[in-house]
Structures are given as structure tokens and as C-alpha cells.
Amino acid sequence: MDSALNIIVVEQDRERAMLIVDALREAGQMRIQVIGSGVGLARRVAETRPDLVLIDAGDPSRDVLEELTLAAGPMERPVAMFVDRADQGLTRAAIEAGVSAYVVGGLQPARIHPILDAAIARFHLFARMRAELAATKAALEERKVIDRAKGLLMRAKGIGEEEAYALLRKTAMDQGKRLADLAQAIVTAADLLR
């Protein structure tokens, strides 16, 4: 008997999808199919007849899968969101990592655990990457605002770049403010007064 599990990973981003698939393969024998989260998702999931569906908890298409959990849904086997009462820890870990699992046909918890563990680890990595990207973007934005504030000071006071920056830093320190916040206040005020 073929006991390899059929798993669907719903993920639009190919690169992320491949990373998830790689992580899952290490967790055991299974057939994995990746489908995008766009239009027609419910139909494609139903056609593939999976045992388990994994999806980013923040994907808007989750509500489409939710529809499959209804008794009269297009799947013959019942689908449930994975909430293992015996293992609150695993459920919480999945929520924190931002991965949702939909279990089809009452799959044994023992078979789900290793897969979900692998998925959780991978999604944690994604969350870290996302946080780093956001931090980099924010730093870049702050840089731009500080540069604009510097430029405004240089023009208004007829001073050089270094002097303008020193003035910004000193004022921020004196007022107990973040440099970026002070710069934003100057830029906003200047926009208003324009």
C-alpha cells in the first residue's frame, strides 16, 4: 500500500515554495504539490485530493480553504483546520510562525507532527527574513528623511552639510528624541509652511 502523504503547499512565491518543499522532504516520504493562491484555488485543491494543505496564515486565500471545511464543500472527505487539542504547544507554535495547516480526512496526529514541525521551522525563517527586510526598508526611509531635513536646514540657515547634521544630532539629544523623528518633524513642518 502506498502510504506517502499527499501534501499541497499554497504559495504564490516560487522561491518560498521551493524552500518549504525542501524542508518538508527532509521530514519524510511524501508527494508535495505547490499551487498558487490566486483564482480557482478551491477547485484545484479539491481536484488534487490532498491529505494536508499548508498555507501562510497571512494569505488572504485562507478563507477559500475555510470554505472547504464545510460539510457540503466540494471535497468528499472532511477538512478541518489543524487544532490538536492534545498538543496546544504545537498549535501555538504554528500560529506564531504564521503557518496554517488544513487536515483532510482525519489524518493521524502522529503523522502530522513531523511535517508541521518542519513547516514551522521554515516559516520562522521567513518571518525573520521579512522582519530584516522591513528593518532595512525602514532604515532606508529614515536615511532619506534625515537627508531631506539636513537639506532644509542647510538652505534655511546657510550652513554646510556637516554643520546641519551636527545641529540635528544635538537638538535630538537635547530633546530626548530619535534623530529620525526630529527629521520627520522638520520635513512635515516645512511641507506645511511651503
Partner 1 sequence: MTPVAIGYVPLVDAAPVIVAKELGFAEEEGLSLSLVKAASWSQLRDMLESGRVQAAHMLSVMPVARALGLGGGAGATEVLMVLSLGGQVIGLSAECAAQAGVGFGDPMALGAALAGQDLRLGVPFPFSMQALLLRYWLQRAAPGLQPRIVTVPPSRMAEALRAGDIDGFCVGEPWGSAAATEAGARLVLTGSQIWSQAPEKVLAVRAGQGEEAGPLMRAVWRAGRWAEAPGNRATLADILARPAYLDVAATYLEPALFGRLGAHQVPQLLTFHDGVANFPWRSQASWIGAELARSCGLPLAPAVTAARACFRSDLYRRHLGALAPMPRSSDKLEGALPAAEALPAVNGRLILACNRFFDDAVFDPEPEN
By CB under 8 A, name the binding residues for partner 1. 38-40, 42, 57-67, 69-71, 80-81, 83, 85, 92, 95, 100
106-124 core/surface letters (b: 16 or more CB in 10 A; e: else): ebeeebbeebbebbbebbe
Nearer to partner 1, 73 or 114 (CB): 73
Q: Closest distance between partner 1 and the C-beta of residue 64, in Å?
A: 5
Q: How many CA atoms lie within 13 A of 89 on its CB side?
A: 2
Nearer to partner 1, 94 or 168 (CB): 94
Q: Closest distance between partner 1 and the C-beta of residue 82, in Å?
A: 10
Nearer to partner 1, 30 or 97 (CB): 97
Q: Closest distance between partner 1 and the C-beta of residue 90, in Å?
A: 13
The CA distance from 167 to 161, in Å, is: 10
Amino acid making up residue 45: V
The CA distance from 156 to 152, in Å, is: 6
Q: Closest distance between partner 1 and the C-beta of residue 153, in Å?
A: 27
